[in-house]
Amino acid sequence: MVQSSVLGFPRMGANRELKKATESYWAGKSSVESLLETGKTLRAAHWKIQKDAGVDIIPSNDFSFYDQVLDHIQLFNAVPERYTKYNLSPLETLFAMGRGLQRKATDTTEAVDVTSLEMVKWFDSNYHYVRPTLQDNQTFKLSGTKPIDEFNEAKELGIVTRPVVLGPVSFLHLGKADRGQSVTPIDLLDNLLPVYEELLTKLAEAGAETVQIDEPVLVLDLPEKTKKAFATAYSKLGALANGPKLVLATYFGDIVHNIDVVPSINHLYGLHIDLVRAPGQLKDVLAAVGEKQILSAGVVDGRNIWKTNFSKAIGLVETAVEALGADRVIVATSSSLLHTPHTLASEKKLDPEVADWFSFATEKAKEVAIIAKAVTEGSDSVAEELKANAASVEARATSKRTNDAAVKDRQAAITDADYSRKSPFPERIAAQSKTLNLPKFPTTTIGSFPQTSEIRVQRNKFTKGEITAEQYEKFIEKEIDDVIAIQEEIGLDVLVHGEPERNDMVQYFGERLNGYVFTTHAWVQSYGSRCVRPPIIVGDISRPAPMTVKESKYAQSKTKKPMKGMLTGPVTCLRWSFPRDDVHQSVQAEQLALALRDEVIDLEKAGIYVIQVDEPAIREGFPLRDGKEREEYLKWAVNSFKLSTAGVEDGTQIHSHFCYSDFQDMFSLISDLDADVLSIENSKSDAKLLNVFKKEEYPRHIGPGVYDIHSPRIPSYEEIKNRIEEMLVYLKPEQLWIDPDCGLKTRQWTETKPALTNLVNAAKFFREKYA
């Protein structure tokens, strides 16, 4: 019999209960017991959803109060000493690593001041994990029981789950040496394996027959040493006297380039592959799996919201069954469903025509069960479901909503000249110096200011029709007035309007563009307690009207300082939406670029002479593996940015922003964007990363973020000054801008004002030093 399985379920809850409980606990408004109880309730609810959907193999330990990789850091006692020295509780330590902790001394406790660990993109997704940060003399110890406790918790509810554990090779490969340390993480494998042996044995003792061990790094280009580590690790973990059966899970790509690793793991019970992202790997993998090994076929997309095409999925599964037999095939989600929203049932406002095309986590759980049944018992056993699915797939393929001839005509008329600014950078910056008249070390922020609960409440009232458009507009104008006054008081040079009118930097644009639909409840975790509600691209994209001009123009009218217009770039709009799967991403990016080009030109016409086009997702879109796909991506991603920005005069300054600094393998892309000013994340990474800008003699302006905005802690004046000093080793004073490393929407004003005051004072120090 073909079984069905889910690799992981979203943990926030249908109404983001986990986010609300966590933030309430952080704010001191509710107890730790109440937070733990919410976690328990959600886990039970999610197991039940999957059981009711008919899923045979249900995961546990996919839940986390912050991030699953961070859980493993704590589970293996790989917590740096700067966190353990405060004797915090395990949960407090977890959150301190995730988001930093700054706490004044009390009568009974000492003061705490510690920054967070680095947070990085989970492969090419908009989910962020906390990076294992390792020491030269790193030791590991099993120091917790979370996977076992959660397995037992489900068992008590009558559900025998398959625990999910991040594999040792991925844990180490995704980690890094701590600042000042030089360890190559994979060299720590021998130290780490005994901890896995103990953990797996304990899981088996608790009754876990099978464990899903995630090794997603197998889809990457791996150094030889890392590839060999698979054999070392799994010859031990797959042969434990009393260990569980292991299903090694890979996702987000194919493993064909690492197929020589497969023989070293084909004594394991099973192997999971992502057949949504890489259906072409099936043949090679079938030929390489072990004689008795199970293949878990990931045919239901864990990364997007489109209904599975049953006919295609069944075809793939049947190919596997023909080769291996029904008992050796599992129908699965392609990856964890963490990246999909909870349930389509919450969407009461979606047009039924398009709602019928979607499937969220709860519906996807049903899909794996239906596909498994179709293959096991024959299509007659699920005839109704197959018929409805085929009708839905056909309706989408032929819908008028997907095609707009005017958009296609405009794309066809694009010329080479549309991609280039009028003059090269030296002439542009000379013109910009005249229009903008900025000091050395100009200061700015990245766009958003705190999204206070007042802002959210007013927006919510407006959405529900409880206040009029005029009342809402007045409220937004007042917010803009306030942030301008604050920025002028602090002494920033290039101001922003603060983005109070935006729910999210992508959703906001999605709601204003043709070709998109948006949801009311389809939240997806981005990091920690933060969630996004990606809009959905269903058809060709165009801009019916200006999207940001009113607010930017208003803001500029309220200050003599330059006001920066603020847009989200085409690649980021694409990647942080749920994209179409029937049209290449480059086509969708080009359509977005044309819409944004019109917006950029309209902003300039309205008197906005600094325009930032954010492209934080351009890095995560970079294909995971070296090769042709990367070359193609570099071309279309750069072109779409240039198409959106190149329509302005020389004196208009184009900024771009990326909240990461991992440039080594894509410096050409950064440079080719031809933005006048770049602001990048640099606060958590080693300033040496800037070396690439020095080495490549980067000619334009750059603002490497001087502090980490993801943490509530306030950076001191000295700290920022030291950071700038470090940057000046790599960058010329005349090219350096001073800014935080991302927008301030997630921060409180009590954190923002002192942090920016310290930032401006630090810039003034260098202005005098280099006067």
Ligand X SMILES: N[C@@H](CCS)C(=O)O
- Tell me which residue of 5, 182, 169 sits closest to 72, measured CA to CA: 169
Q: Residue 407 CA to chain centroid, in angstroms? A: 29
533 binds, among Zn ion, ligand X, ligand LYWDKB7T, none (CB under 5 to 8 A by kind): ligand LYWDKB7T
The annotation status of 47 as a binding-site residue, yes or no, is no
Alpha-carbon distance of 124 to 650, in angstroms, equals 35
392 binds, among ligand X, Zn ion, ligand LYWDKB7T, none (CB under 5 to 8 A by kind): none
244 binds, among ligand LYWDKB7T, ligand X, Zn ion, none (CB under 5 to 8 A by kind): none
Query: Which three-class secondary structure state does DSSP give residue 679?
Result: strand
- The three-point CA angle 516-522-523 to 5° equals 115
The annotation status of 19 as a binding-site residue, yes or no, is yes
| Nearer to Zn ion (CB atom), residue 436 or residue 742 | 742
453 binds, among ligand LYWDKB7T, Zn ion, ligand X, none (CB under 5 to 8 A by kind): ligand LYWDKB7T
Alpha-carbon distance of 754 to 209, in angstroms, equals 54
666 binds, among Zn ion, ligand LYWDKB7T, ligand X, none (CB under 5 to 8 A by kind): none
* List of residues 6+ apart from 164 with CB closer than 8 A: 7, 8, 59, 60, 61, 62, 68, 211, 212, 213, 214, 249, 336
| Nearer to ligand LYWDKB7T (CB atom), residue 375 or residue 566 | 566
| Nearer to ligand LYWDKB7T (CB atom), residue 618 or residue 762 | 618
Which of 246, 567, 742, 760: binder of Zn ion (CB under 5 A)?
Answer: 742
The annotation status of 477 as a binding-site residue, yes or no, is no
| Nearer to ligand X (CB atom), residue 185 or residue 447 | 447
The annotation status of 272 as a binding-site residue, yes or no, is no
| Nearer to ligand X (CB atom), residue 566 or residue 689 | 566
| Nearer to ligand X (CB atom), residue 236 or residue 745 | 745
Work out how close the CB of 603 gets to ligand LYWDKB7T at its nearest, in angstroms, rounded to a whole number. Answer: 20
The annotation status of 447 as a binding-site residue, yes or no, is yes
The annotation status of 448 as a binding-site residue, yes or no, is yes
| Nearer to ligand LYWDKB7T (CB atom), residue 230 or residue 576 | 576
- Contact residues toward ligand X (CB under 6 A) are 446-448, 505, 566, 614, 616, 657, 659, 742-743, 745
Q: Any idea what DSSP says for residue 136?
A: T
The CA-to-CA distance between both ends of the chain, in Å, stands at 77
The length of the chain, given as a count of residues: 771
Which of 361, 659, 670, 702: binder of Zn ion (CB under 5 A)?
Answer: 659
| Nearer to ligand LYWDKB7T (CB atom), residue 281 or residue 503 | 503
The annotation status of 481 as a binding-site residue, yes or no, is no
Work out how close the CB of 644 gets to ligand X at its nearest, in angstroms, rounded to a whole number. Answer: 15
Q: Which residue matches tokens 């068992």?
A: 155
Give catalytic status of residue 173 as yes or no: no
* List of residues 6+ apart from 388 with CB closer than 8 A: none
Contact between 193 and 233 under an 8 Å Cβ cutoff? The reply is yes
Work out how close the CB of 115 gets to ligand LYWDKB7T at its nearest, in angstroms, rounded to a whole number. Answer: 17
Alpha-carbon distance of 36 to 437, in angstroms, equals 54
Work out how close the CB of 17 gets to ligand LYWDKB7T at its nearest, in angstroms, rounded to a whole number. Answer: 11
Work out how close the CB of 576 gets to ligand X at its nearest, in angstroms, rounded to a whole number. Answer: 10
The annotation status of 614 as a binding-site residue, yes or no, is yes
Residue 247: strand pairing partners = 212, 270
Q: Which range in 272-280, 525-533, 699-707, 735-743 contacts Zn ion by CB under 5 A? A: 735-743
The annotation status of 573 as a binding-site residue, yes or no, is no
* List of residues 6+ apart from 87 with CB closer than 8 A: none
Alpha-carbon distance of 655 to 701, in angstroms, equals 9
Work out how close the CB of 492 gets to Zn ion at its nearest, in angstroms, rounded to a whole number. Answer: 17
Work out how close the CB of 742 gets to ligand X at its nearest, in angstroms, rounded to a whole number. Answer: 5
- Tell me which residue of 561, 287, 320 sits closest to 436, measured CA to CA: 561
Work out how close the CB of 567 gets to ligand X at its nearest, in angstroms, rounded to a whole number. Answer: 9
The annotation status of 126 as a binding-site residue, yes or no, is yes
345 binds, among ligand LYWDKB7T, Zn ion, ligand X, none (CB under 5 to 8 A by kind): none
Q: Concatenate the DSSP letters of all residues of 31-85 into one string.
A: -HHHHHHHHHHHHHHHHHHHHHHT-SB-EES---SS-HHHHHHHHTT---HHHHT
Work out how close the CB of 448 gets to Zn ion at its nearest, in angstroms, rounded to a whole number. Answer: 9
| Nearer to ligand X (CB atom), residue 307 or residue 657 | 657
Alpha-carbon distance of 486 to 604, in angstroms, equals 25
447 binds, among Zn ion, ligand LYWDKB7T, ligand X, none (CB under 5 to 8 A by kind): ligand X
The annotation status of 531 as a binding-site residue, yes or no, is yes
- The three-point CA angle 309-310-311 to 5° equals 95
Single-letter code of the amino acid located at 459: R
- Tell me which residue of 568, 565, 584, 499 sits closest to 535, measured CA to CA: 568
Interface with Zn ion: number of residues (CB under 5 A): 3
| Nearer to ligand X (CB atom), residue 5 or residue 752 | 752
* List of residues 6+ apart from 35 with CB closer than 8 A: 21, 22, 24, 25, 65, 91
The annotation status of 681 as a binding-site residue, yes or no, is yes
Alpha-carbon distance of 352 to 574, in angstroms, equals 23
Q: At what angle do helices 405-412 and 585-605 cross, to 10 degrees?
A: 80
684 binds, among Zn ion, ligand X, ligand LYWDKB7T, none (CB under 5 to 8 A by kind): none
Contact between 669 and 618 under an 8 Å Cβ cutoff? The reply is yes
Alpha-carbon distance of 372 to 370, in angstroms, equals 5
566 binds, among ligand X, Zn ion, ligand LYWDKB7T, none (CB under 5 to 8 A by kind): ligand X
If one asks whether residue 616 binds Zn ion (CB under 5 A), the answer comes out as yes
Number of C-beta neighbours around residue 771 at 10 A: 7
For the record, the structure tokens of 760 come out as 């401006």
The annotation status of 446 as a binding-site residue, yes or no, is yes
The CB-nearest residue to ligand X is 743
- The three-point CA angle 556-560-561 to 5° equals 85
- Contact residues toward ligand LYWDKB7T (CB under 6 A) are 126, 451, 453, 456-457, 459-460, 503-507, 526-527, 530-533, 576, 616, 659, 742, 745-746
Alpha-carbon distance of 147 to 591, in angstroms, equals 45
* List of residues 6+ apart from 469 with CB closer than 8 A: 462
Residue 736: strand pairing partners = 702
Work out how close the CB of 703 gets to ligand LYWDKB7T at its nearest, in angstroms, rounded to a whole number. Answer: 16
| Residues annotated in a binding site for Zn(2+) | 657, 659, 672, 681, 742
- Residues involved in catalysis: 710
| Residues annotated in a binding site for L-homocysteine | 446-448, 614
| Residues annotated in a binding site for L-methionine | 446-448, 499, 614
| Residues annotated in a binding site | 19, 126, 446-448, 499, 530-531, 576, 614, 657, 659, 672, 681, 742
Give the residues lining the site for Zn ion (CB under 5 A). Answer: 616, 659, 742
